[in-house]
Structure 1
């Protein structure tokens, strides 16, 4: 019996030894082949000078995208979102405790720091009220009574996976906020939750384009007739790439996406950098009114602000035509926005951030007597309550977030959005990777993230002594200057008065 066992063990060891030698031989052959390839190739100096081991440089560089945020970055130093910001979003989405101990890790004396001014007699819970719905599009056949001041910004099906869009749609419906389709067209996944949808028309007119890439009125009528489509947004520019159209790599243009967009499958989907039909503010108003006449629904435009000259020209043309010709809303995107692919020069250097552009837009509209007519929506890195509260205090009617809701879906900021390799299934069309995103679970997280952010903005408002978030005003905020001391926001951006009388709505 024992000798039989010893013979068996010896056989097993022999086989292990054989496999080890075989494996080692294969490894040596692979290393030799890689060595020869590296030494003879002429494109990468590191590999040519340091064959085989040079590959570790690229491997570590790739892994750094995933791990630097966990092992090397401090809580408040990483970009585009630091660990503290992301962790708040994660905890809000999971509906777990968002309290911390031992004091803030935020530097409260650095230039630009926003501080809300607490009242000595804060609003008691019994006196707090919810923000009331706001009417958009008073001259439309079908105005929109928007319920929430915090909504989901434009992210197209294509940039996002179908399971991500489904989770967002279902979560938005439960939360009572709208979801913007992004420029990729209206998909069944946007409608799957049964909630409110804002349909975006980009420069390529995806979903409502004709064979030449222009606007197809019949397709527009069909899309806008859907009862869930509440508003239409004409996109002139977005924060990640002002002056550049949308970019969707061919590997992400599936058959379904191609059918929705009315483009060929498997080919890069690159939008024009502007609308060929729109060269000036007169053309812009013509297009807005054309879309509104066909759809009967509120129509506005989305852009990144460069100068205020455009706004003054727009207001002048509106006054010439009459207030009914005005866009029903303007969506301002921040230069530091962006959830998808964009060229780095545009990411880093073009356009104004929302901290400058929002007060510019609000002040011009107020001085031109159009503030009540045109609702102002803003977006740009608003994933935490403080950013949303600041925007409302500045005077915005609504705020949007894209990446905040991506964090709610499980995004880990792996920076793989444009590569179809997103490890959490949010921005990939790889079925194996999409399996990690379970729609019912993530829809609940979207709902909780929205609920807890709105609740936290209300907490800031109540601390400032007002009954609800839209009660926040500029005088409730101070901003730290280069002296290390703060100054009132209403001194930096004074309240404006209407200088052009207009008839009431």
Structure 2
């Protein structure tokens, strides 16, 4: 009998201790700022960390390996997460990447590379030399378009502050300029979507007075006319009504709860002539460089644009062309468009670079590459093929703590990035996340410069197609300049 009483007391004490520990952990998780999941889901959220730490063991025997997940595998995401800490991001015991997979890039290291004190550093590059206010862009890696509305207020603020700290630009996305874009004081690229949010007149066209007002903002360095984006070429932006609160409605000119559906294209642009006219008009009114973003279906169709630019003169050219791959991402898009429409960036980029260079416009038009380019190797590959800049949205979402929950099109993002639910947004602590955004950007740039140093050049943009080999179906690799010879004016192909 006495033993039963002792066991009962021990059981009650154990239960009490468990409850007390749970309460302490609940308080710790609610008040900490470094982990959005634990902050939003106290105690329970700790199991994600436990299962993540055990994930390698379980994946090895039962589930997908590190490089088998889609759209971004665990190795890609883990690199970003580690980079955000601003610490050493080295690995041990060799590569886990299968280097025999067709399409894998392999960089060609120099036999006698520069010494360690002869660094490869990225030089600033001018965009829009003929604009009233040209833009001297400092970074090769920047934040692609993410609208306030598609992502949350704390996410926009963290990206803005992180971009300023890292010295990179931040594209506003097509949702207009929100106050949170400006909080960090970073360089901004104002994206003009088909709905003209933020600068639209009553008929849905461009209001020149509003455009001039945005152009006068010293933080706005360029304008990007969005023709199409990778996940849904031929279809406009889709902002679900549950994300349209009072503030977003005011910025975009919508009703509260009204879905933000953009037209599938700009009504005033029917051909390349119209496109150049609109670009010239925006540049004249705003005084800032202007380019456009699109997805390539067939490069043959774009031949006409470059011929027209040559005919009209280089001053008529867009200041930049942002190429989004068909594999690009978004918060909401029909699956057939995500999966099946638009040329992948690995094919589209060299085709457009070649068209530009063939028509003698290399120094006039800058090429920006976008589309699942989140790791240093991706960025270095794009630079080798002729991109002047690379932008990413999803890479920077990972730097904010995105766990690829695939709920961007709902208002239930567990990390607070793509939701306007205040209860979920509190998990995204700006003071913590903006530092991680900056660390990630700096890590990508530093490692691209490391690759450039390894192949023997002093600046990443001096990398050429001969510096990267592409693995073929038989497992051998071929220099990319043999697969697709460059039209660069230099003779070192």
> Is TM > 0.5 for Structure 1 vs Structure 2?
yes
Match of 1:339 among 330, 335, 344: 330
Shift, 1:497, TM fit: 5.6
Paired position in structure 2 for 1:162? 153
Matched, 1:137 2:128: yes
Matched, 1:287 2:282: no
Match of 2:473 among 457, 482, 487: 482
Give the gaps of 5 or more residues in structure 1: 10-62, 499-505
Moved more, 488-497 or 321-330: 488-497
Match of 2:189 among 198, 202, 227: 198
Shift, 1:495, TM fit: 1.5
Distance 1:258 1:73 in 2: 42
Per-residue deviation, residues 411-435 of structure 1 (Å, max 9, x unmatched): 0000010101000001000001000
Match of 1:469 among 453, 457, 460: 460
Give the gaps of 5 or more residues in structure 2: 10-47
Contact 2:354 2:487 in 1 (8 A): yes
SS at match of 1:490: helix
Distance 2:376 2:306 in 1: 32
SS at match of 1:189: helix
Distance 1:476 1:364 in 2: 21
Q: Show the 5 A alignment for 1:61-460.
A: 70=55, 72-460=63-451
Distance 2:303 2:486 in 1: 18
TM-score, normalised relative to structure 2? 0.86
Per-residue deviation, residues 280-310 of structure 1 (Å, max 9, x unmatched): 0001011101101100100000000111233
Moved more, 185-194 or 467-476: 467-476
Shift, 1:96, TM fit: 3.0
SS at match of 1:127: coil
Moved more, 87-96 or 164-173: 87-96
Shift, 1:119, TM fit: 1.2
Contact 2:120 2:449 in 1 (8 A): no
SS at match of 1:130: coil
Distance 1:73 1:277 in 2: 48
Per-residue deviation, residues 118-164 of structure 1 (Å, max 9, x unmatched): 11222222111421110111111100000000000001001100100
SS at match of 1:131: coil
Contact 2:169 2:186 in 1 (8 A): yes
Distance 2:451 2:231 in 1: 29
Moved more, 432-441 or 96-105: 96-105
Shift, 1:450, TM fit: 0.6
Moved more, 129-138 or 292-301: 129-138
SS at match of 2:84: helix
Change (3 A) 1:161 1:430: same
Moved more, 84-93 or 125-134: 125-134
Distance 1:439 1:464 in 2: 38
Per-residue deviation, residues 347-381 of structure 1 (Å, max 9, x unmatched): 00000111100000010111111121101011111
Moved more, 127-136 or 270-279: 127-136
How many equivalent pairs are there?
A: 436
Distance 2:319 2:303 in 1: 17
Distance 2:391 2:406 in 1: 21
Moved more, 302-311 or 172-181: 302-311
Distance 2:253 2:363 in 1: 38
Distance 2:330 2:266 in 1: 22
TM-score, normalised relative to structure 1? 0.84
